[in-house]
Chain A
Amino acid sequence: MSLDKLKNRNVGVQNYKMLDLGHTPESGWGKFKQVLKRSVKLELFVGLKVTIREMFKALFMGEMHTVKYPFEKLPISPRYRAIHEMKRLLESGHYRCIGCGLCEKICISNCIKMDTRYDEEQRKEVSDYTINFGRCIFCGYCAEVCPELAIVHGGRYETASEQRASYSNFEDMLTPMDELMNQKEYPGFGAPTPVADKNIKKTPLAY
């Protein structure tokens, strides 16, 4: 399945067709005629035909709809907001987070907690970063506000766990170093759109 279907947001412009249901017959003769018409036209057997056709489609034409969930998964939209991911810089492998604290500030459920300090080179360093997923409502504000695209939403939606802390450490959310080559830029919520370059306008300061 391509992702185009998921991106179709044109909900509510389908062409509805009103069925002509006719009217209920009043007289006994009319009722009798209706019964006769329905029986002789074999309307009942249309239902049987449809069901057996679906069965043949499913069995012999590969149109079985079951997704064996834990073994197979349907693709999800890139804009889906699940467990957060922390991205790294591709060149150095250092994490992108600059410790600005915007995500902590904007978080409406107060679930992000971060501590920063100066390291030996007097650069700001994130010393402690946790997200309380018991409170997180996955609103996506943190990803939207992040100036460095450092915190984004990933696609990991199976969040059943024995402990709430299982996902919430900074190191757990960070892209592993050996996976760095496969790190994808987040196309979803908060990311610049593909036409962002075209839409950009000069600010007054540039004059």
Chain B
Amino acid sequence: MDGYIIATVIKAILILAVISALAGFGTYIERKILAFIQRRLGPMHVGPFGVLQIAADGIKLFTKEDFIPSGANKIVFMVAPIITAATAFIALAAVPLLPEFTLFGIDVKPIVSDMNIGILFVIAMMGVGLYGPLLAGMAQENKWGIIGSARTAIQFLSYEVVTGLSLLAPIMMVGSLSLIDFNTYQAGGIGHWIVWTQPVAFILFLISGFAETNRTPFDLLENEAEVISGYATEYSGMRWGMFFIGEYANMITIGFLASLIFLGGFNPLWIIPGGLAIILKVAFFFFLMLWVRSAWPHIRPDQLMWLCWKVLMPLAVINILITGLVMMA
């Protein structure tokens, strides 16, 4: 029992450290890749190829004044960014990050809590994450903030439906909510990946994943052209940084979910060992998010709702229906 608690605490701290470092590094990757796509160089001067740019950004964010507007609701304003960052990391608790491995003679399962409802927990935690932007926007007494938080509410609520419904069909096929069961279900190589049997669900999940992580075709929450910075208008310094650590951690979570559920998870691929395979898959999804950001314009709020309720949700329901019929036959 004691060993279990200690192991869990160590895993939690490790995940917190690694993922928040990766989230910071994600900002560098994003700037670099967007720059390459626009045929620019991106950050170049801090460290070799600008790798230490995140250190410079971190120093800037930490030393900046932590500004709280006089009209704002102080406590809620201060707590809101923590909600975003915390829920993003709590969601990762139920995600198996790597295959099991042996370290110093101890079998290590790289998952903080192997609960049998993993997917549901991750989706629930990402759903709770909407309180960060929501409360932030409402607490700061700023019209852009209020619009940003209203958009948070409609966008996250609507696309949670699509996420849930699109994942229902694969869940029906596997018959379990545990992400490890999903992984073992697809153990037979590329031919067994769920993406071949559920392509519609994969595309729907990807689209709603973009919406839930607030990535570009659906980045209405903090669109500069329309609502200045949306919910983050009045934030500065590390509180602003926490929103972005949360956002990048969510991107990593969505990448892990998509690769675990649809793309074979951490099963070995040809000669690539499982651990490297899943890292490559997550890296691909991360790159895809940046790639899409560089290519596509974002859409209007009414188009967002149109897409969700008139296109994606009916498609998801039809997909579930067809899956059910095929499974019964």
Contacts and interface: CB of A to CB of B under 8 A. Distances in A.
Do A and B share a direct contact in the complex (Cβ within 8 angstroms)? yes
Interface of A: 44, 47-48, 50-52, 54-55, 57-59, 63-66, 68
Given A48-B292, A55-B36, 11 more contacts: A44-B296, A47-B295, A47-B296, A48-B296, A51-B37, A55-B33, A55-B37, A55-B39, A58-B36, A64-B40, A65-B39
A68 B41 contact: yes
B166 to A, nearest CB: 17
A78 to B, nearest CB: 28
A54 B41 contact: no
B284 to A, nearest CB: 13
Given A55-B36, A58-B36, A59-B36, A64 B41 contact: yes
B291 interface: yes
Interface in B36-53: 36-41, 44
Contacts of A52: 37, 291
B39 A63 contact: yes
Given A48-B291, A51-B291, A52-B291, A64 B296 contact: no
22 contacts: A44-B296, A47-B295, A48-B291, A48-B292, A48-B295, A48-B296, A51-B37, A51-B291, A52-B291, A54-B37, A55-B33, A55-B36, A55-B37, A57-B39, A58-B36, A58-B39, A58-B40, A63-B39, A64-B40, A64-B41, A65-B39, A66-B41
B113 interface: no
Interface of B: 33, 36-41, 44, 291-292, 294-296
A52 B44 CA distance: 21
A66 B291 contact: no
B44 A51 contact: no
B40 A51 contact: no
A54 B33 CA distance: 11
A63 B37 CA distance: 11
Nearest to A57: B39
A55 B37 CA distance: 4
Contacts of A66: 39-41
A68 B39 contact: no
Contacts of A64: 39-41
Contacts of B41: 64, 66, 68
B184 to A, nearest CB: 33
Nearest to A66: B41
Contacts of A51: 37, 291, 294-295
Residue among A51, A59, A63, A66 with most chain B CB within 10 A: A51
A2 B296 CA distance: 35
Nearest to B292: A48
A65 B291 CA distance: 19
A63 B40 CA distance: 9
Contacts of B38: 54
A51 B295 CA distance: 6
Contacts of A55: 33, 36-37, 39
A55 B33 CA distance: 8
A63 B291 CA distance: 19
Nearest to B44: A68
A184 B39 CA distance: 36
Nearest to A45: B295
A50 B295 CA distance: 8
Contacts of A57: 39
Contacts of A50: 295
